[in-house]
Amino acid sequence: MRTPHATIEAPPTPRLTGTSAPSTAGTVTTERAPGVHSEPSTDVRTKSQHQRRKRIVQAAAALASRGGVEAMQMRTVAERAGVALGTLYRYFPSKMDLVVAVVSEEIELLETSIERRPPAAATPAGRAVDVLMRATRGLMREPELADALIRSLIMTEVETPFGDRMAALLIRVAGGAGTDGPTEEQLALAGALASVWVHELLEMLRGRRTHEQVQHRIEIAADRLFSDFRSPSSTAN
Amino acid sequence: MRTPHATIEAPPTPRLTGTSAPSTAGTVTTERAPGVHSEPSTDVRTKSQHQRRKRIVQAAAALASRGGVEAMQMRTVAERAGVALGTLYRYFPSKMDLVVAVVSEEIELLETSIERRPPAAATPAGRAVDVLMRATRGLMREPELADALIRSLIMTEVETPFGDRMAALLIRVAGGAGTDGPTEEQLALAGALASVWVHELLEMLRGRRTHEQVQHRIEIAADRLFSDFRSPSSTAN
DNA sequence: CCAGAAATTAGAACAGATTACAATAAGTGT
DNA sequence: ACACTTATTGTAATCTGTTCTAATTTCTGG
């Protein structure tokens, strides 16, 4: 038998030598290595490891853009990235971890895009819808990839900053968080909207919704969920 | 290469001989066999097929209750159900189909339970929360199973009556549908609540939410989403 | 009860993810 | 430069879902 998942010691290096860990955002295998102090964050042993990781994620994304997860086979990824299969597994303990890494990049792209051109709608709900639909369009440009990513994210044991991250983003654009961060309730509502979005996205990927239907449904949900979010004025803190 | 999934002809028998199909609710392989007339519903060739199917689903559920999907291996299921691997695959073209079948049973149980003891809360939202939390408790009795099922459902290519079914149930208990069925908007709202529930359930399974937190979040969402559902009175049709 | 159609079976075969391992290359501290 | 720890590489092996096949059994309609 074999360990199904989780509870693996630490990523690549993190032994007591305090050397490093190639992984940056991925490799979130559910358990922290006990006794191992902090994490020098993006602390990678060498630059070549950074690049190696990058090559891997890149190769993975490229492959996934084509035939989806199916096409993104570990052997192929390793080959394309120019690393040995074992190495690939050292960086990403499972295919899911790799997928998560790919997604993380996508989200970062979205966040950047939002910063560059913030949603302009008048109401908090409107702005939230804006963001979600922008994300939707972005993802739907590569349906195979989107499908693979979304599903994998939902499936995985791996820590998924996804929902929380999207929720935080929504609160931000809706203009919700006071100086001491968002309310419990706001988090709940934003989280709810995020999960509705994910669900609609999945339905769209399954071909059971058109872009319009998705937008409509998200609008309906957003209107209700974000109705008493702070209006665009009253920036009291 | 091999066909990844979907678009398989018809379940077990459905050729032109109009014989039958062992499968009852599962086996939703994304495509109907073209040209094949209606479906005599629960029309199974023989009773033994009914039983065989039952044994299979039963075995699958039992296994999943233990180690989750991981433990529910096709070979093992076949063995436990006392059928050949090939037969298992004839009944359920893929593991997902089998999982769907297992879930269907669970949902049926819930529906029955709801009928037997309808939610008593005063508001539509309250009743919806009642139902969802009851479902949650039921599922959480077998965490491994629940986890396996929920995830698999989200992952699969297979038709998932899940969301829609739960949405329908919610509308029913909330007292929403007029004679000509629920509104588009009601469907959207109930669907939204259902997806929030699924998400929270997942988070709970991941150990990131307590039962209370889930309830709280669902209440918050339900209050907003079901606020203008028909009040408990005015049963005009 | 017989002939043909469909189902079931046992078991081999295949595919892709994951693991194991021995040999070699790199990086580090002194 | 040396000894030592950690990474990387190749490659074989393992595990599990899925497919295939030939032989056998079960049905169904006369």
Residue that has been written with the tokens 């937008």 in this structure: A215
Confirm if B31 and B8 have CB atoms less than 8 A apart. yes
Q: Is the pLDDT of residue A68 over 90?
A: no
User: What was the pLDDT predicted at A14?
Assistant: 36
Each residue of B139-188: pLDDT tens digit? Answer: 888 887 888 778 777 766 656 667 788 899 999 999 867 778 888 999 99
Amino acid identity, residue B230? Answer: R
With distances taken from each CA to the C1' atom of nucleotide D20, the closest residue turns out to be: B86
User: Closest-CA residue in chain A for B68?
Assistant: A4
Rounded alpha-carbon distances, angstroms, from residue B33 to A93, B13, B47: 40, 11, 24
User: What was the pLDDT predicted at A158?
Assistant: 54
CA dist A50 and A45 (Å) reads: 8
| Other Cβ atoms within 10 Å of A181 Cβ, number | 12
B128 touches chain A (CB under 8 A): no
- B217 CB neighbours in chain A (<8 A) are 188, 191-192
With distances taken from each CA to the C1' atom of nucleotide C21, the closest residue turns out to be: A86
Each residue of A107-141: pLDDT tens digit? Answer: 888 889 999 999 999 999 999 999 999 999 988 88
Residue A99's pLDDT band, with cuts at 50, 70 and 90, is confident
Helix (H, G, I), strand (E, B) or coil at A181: strand
* Among the partner residues A70, A191, A227, nearest to B4 by beta-carbon distance: A70
| Other Cβ atoms within 10 Å of B38 Cβ, number | 7
The model's pTM is: 0.76
- Tokens for A15, please give them: 């032994």
> What are the residues with a C-beta under 7 Å from any atom of nucleic chain D?
A 1-2, 12-13, 15-17, 19-22, 45, 48-49, 52, 82-87, 90-91; B 2-3, 19, 45-46, 48, 69, 72-75, 85-86, 89, 93-96
Confirm if B64 and B72 have CB atoms less than 8 A apart. yes
Q: Is the pLDDT of residue A201 over 80?
A: yes
* Among the partner residues A151, A191, A199, nearest to B155 by beta-carbon distance: A151
